[in-house]
């Protein structure tokens, strides 16, 4: 994962613009501590901060196509870059073995259609010296962050994080996921518009295809020339990703699994307060799949002390994001200290399969599906924002196989009736059934628990207590006077917003953060499903008491049933 800034159409001197780009790039250097590079011309300046993951020796950026006269800065990973070489019709002057260089030559031959050809996570800016045009694009879901802004003189700026634009731009906004923007078009153009986003899928699930699709996503995302690891919360999603990665850890993915892996020991990481619920379960998963496991234990005070830094890095005041992002931010620092530069994580499964507890209340398959679609396309503001920026704060890259474009398109084509979990039926049932031999039954059928709950219940309670001490009832009642835009609806949200506004000065910065009547499910649609959600202002999963208790009873009965079906030794052999 890297960081970059771009300045296009500037009116000032090149020397001034270049100097500004260098200063802006310093604000995102944490994303790419390995090397810095800059390209400048009369029409554009691109500054890049590199985290070297693939082709460590030769992949420095910006990348140049000297034949076509184009420069490129990329933050991301293109997993299918080797296969894409076959799509090229012309000879090109390759300079590196980097996965990102393919973008230059695909753009040369296919133009904006390059976006649909890429399987990966990316944000990039490309400048054409001959035409003076620039082209900026972001991946399908917004796994990689990107912001765009405009100066009072009409100059266009882009940056990997908003902080680089603060104090420079008059207006700032999030670059929309699945879109591209060019000077020639002068507008955002949607390039990712899957059919499942507009129609009700009717495809019957194949558990084998579901399994093989996820395994393929994990396998291709293990493309890496540096030590990597897996995050394990002890829940279903991260445990599945970790277990699948463990199956392929002995061979080098880049060789088609024909060569020995450079880093055959797979390291896993979990985080929590002392004796947190997640830590025990994560320990069991790590033992089952055979990783070198590391437990990062933090204290409540350490978490509270980190809040200003967390908000500065995550660039949000969303309650759920900060609650979960703080432990992740602390864990990332420990991960980096151990020499790990990339981790696989389990974000996205709850959105794809309807794993949040309020999905039990969905009245129909159509409404269930519509809500999964809405949540997937909001991920750039929530879980993708948290996972990427919390890790990137310490120069670690997070990859999320559940949001792999090809896997996502298959999983979202499944008839939502097969994903539903009415009454006491456990959520994400088809996902669990597809991997019955991969994990211990107690993990496979574990009840959904939000990450911020699982790291230790006293963490959330301490955050609430801190907010109560900082924000009075009157302050909250008059919140709209102090914060007329994106007005916080809880004391905790108010507390985070005061920290946010003390960091970011641009009056449009707050508009990049969503605020709703209930952050718990963040959607008017779901409020119609339950009066409990309509009145709830606490995003903790524990607040859904009825569903939580019913589901826990169900899970216990399933665990008791399944634990007698196969000896633990057989399950370990299957996982390996």
Q: Which positions are catalytic?
A: 2
Q: Is the dihedral of CA 108, 114, 115, 119 positive or negative?
A: negative
* Antiparallel, parallel or unpaired: β 120-128 and 70-78: antiparallel
Enumerate the β-bridge partners of residue 120: 78
Distances (CA, A) of 97 to 31, 57, 103, 239: 21, 9, 12, 32
Nearest to 543 by CA among 520, 516, 518: 520
CB 401 within 8 A of CB 214: yes
What is the Cα 560 distance to its own chain's centre?
Answer: 35
CB 72 within 8 A of CB 48: no
Q: Which residues of 366-389 are buried (b: 16+ CB within 10 A; e: fewer)?
A: ebbbbbbbbbbbbbbbbbbbbbbb
**DSSP result, 510-572:** GGGS---S-TTT--HHHHTT-HHHHT-----GGG-HHHHHHHHHHHHHHHHHHTTTS-HHHHH
* Structure tokens, 284: 């069991």
CB 345 within 8 A of CB 387: yes
- Residue 192: Cβ within 10 Å count: 21
What is the Cα 169 distance to its own chain's centre?
Answer: 26
**Angle at alpha carbon of residue 288, lines to 286 and 289, rounded to 5°:** 70
Q: Measure the CA–CA gap between 415 and 427, rounded to whole angstroms.
A: 15
Distances (CA, A) of 346 to 241, 245, 417, 520: 6, 12, 23, 20
The helix/strand/coil state of 445 is coil
Q: Return all residues near 346 (Cβ < 8 A) that are at least 6 apart.
A: 231, 233, 235, 236, 237, 238, 239, 240, 241, 400, 402
CB 33 within 8 A of CB 16: no
Strand order of the β-sheet with 134-138 is: 63-65, 70-78, 120-128, 134-138, 179-182, 188-190
Q: For the CA atoms of 75, 81, 87, 88, what is the dihedral angle to 10 degrees?
A: 70
Strand order of the β-sheet with 171-174 is: 35-40, 44-50, 3-8, 156-159, 147-150, 171-174
H/E element, 334: helix 319-337
Nearest to 137 by CA among 126, 128, 150, 151: 126
Q: Measure the CA–CA gap between 104 and 399, rounded to whole angstroms.
A: 23
* Structure tokens, 32: 């790419």
């Amino acid at each position: 994962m890297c960081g970059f800034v771009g300045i296009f159409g500037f009116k000032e001197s090149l020397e001034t613009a270049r100097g500004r780009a260098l200063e802006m790039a310093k604000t995102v250097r944490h994303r790419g501590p390995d090397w810095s590079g800059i390209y400048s011309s009369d029409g554009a300046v691109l500054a890049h901060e590199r985290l070297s993951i693939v082709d460590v020796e030769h992949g420095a950026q910006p990348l140049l196509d000297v034949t076509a006269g184009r420069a490129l800065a990329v933050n991301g990973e293109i997993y299918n870059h080797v296969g894409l070489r076959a799509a090229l019709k012309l000879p090109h002057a390759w300079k590196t073995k980097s996965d990102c260089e393919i973008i230059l030559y695909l753009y040369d031959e296919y133009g904006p259609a390059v976006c649909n050809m890429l399987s990966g996570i990316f944000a990039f800016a490309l400048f054409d010296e001959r035409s003076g045009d620039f082209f900026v694009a972001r991946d399908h879901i917004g796994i990689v962050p990107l912001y765009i802004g405009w100066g009072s003189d009409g100059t266009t700026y882009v940056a990997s994080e908003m902080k680089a634009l603060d104090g420079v731009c008059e207006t700032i906004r999030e670059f929309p996921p699945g879109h591209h923007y060019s000077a020639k078009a002068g507008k955002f153009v949607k390039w990712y518009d899957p059919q499942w986003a507009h129609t009700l899928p009717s495809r019957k699930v194949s558990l084998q295809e579901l399994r093989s699709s996820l395994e393929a996503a994990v396998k291709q995302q293990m493309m890496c020339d540096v030590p990597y690891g897996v995050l394990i919360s002890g829940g279903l999603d991260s445990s599945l990703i970790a277990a699948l990665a463990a199956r392929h850890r002995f061979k080098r993915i880049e060789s088609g699994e024909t060569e020995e892996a450079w880093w055959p020991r797979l390291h896993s990481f979990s985080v929590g307060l002392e004796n947190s619920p997640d830590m025990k379960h994560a320990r069991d998963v790590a033992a089952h799949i055979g990783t070198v496991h590391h437990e990062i234990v933090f204290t409540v005070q350490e978490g509270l002390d980190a809040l200003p830094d967390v908000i500065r890095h995550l660039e949000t005041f969303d309650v759920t994001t900060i609650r979960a992002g703080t432990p992740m931010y602390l864990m990332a620092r420990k991960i980096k200290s151990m020499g790990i530069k990339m981790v696989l994580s389990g974000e996205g499964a709850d959105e794809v399969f309807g794993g949040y507890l309020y999905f039990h209340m969905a009245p129909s398959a159509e409404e269930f599906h519509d809500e999964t679609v809405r949540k997937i396309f909001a991920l750039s503001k929530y879980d993708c924002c948290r996972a990427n920026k919390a890790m990137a704060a310490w120069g670690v890259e997070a990859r999320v196989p559940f949001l792999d474009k090809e896997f996502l398109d298959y999983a979202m084509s499944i008839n939502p009736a097969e994903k539903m979990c009415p009454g006491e039926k456990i959520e994400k049932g088809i996902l669990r059934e597809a991997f019955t031999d991969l994990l211990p039954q107690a993990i496979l059928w574990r009840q959904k628990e939000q990450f911020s709950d699982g790291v230790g219940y006293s963490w959330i309670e301490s955050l609430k207590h801190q907010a109560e001490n900082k924000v009075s009832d009157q302050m909250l009642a008059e919140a709209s006077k102090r914060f007329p835009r994106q007005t916080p609806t809880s004391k905790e949200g108010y507390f985070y917003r005061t920290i946010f506004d003390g960091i970011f000065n641009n009056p449009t910065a707050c508009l990049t953060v969503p605020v709703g009547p209930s952050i718990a499910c963040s959607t008017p649609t779901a409020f119609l499903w339950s009066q409990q959600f309509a009145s709830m202002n606490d995003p903790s999963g524990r607040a859904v008491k009825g569903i939580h208790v019913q589901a826990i009873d169900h899970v216990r009965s399933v665990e008791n049933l399944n634990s007698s079906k196969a000896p633990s030794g057989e399950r370990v052999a299957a996982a390996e």
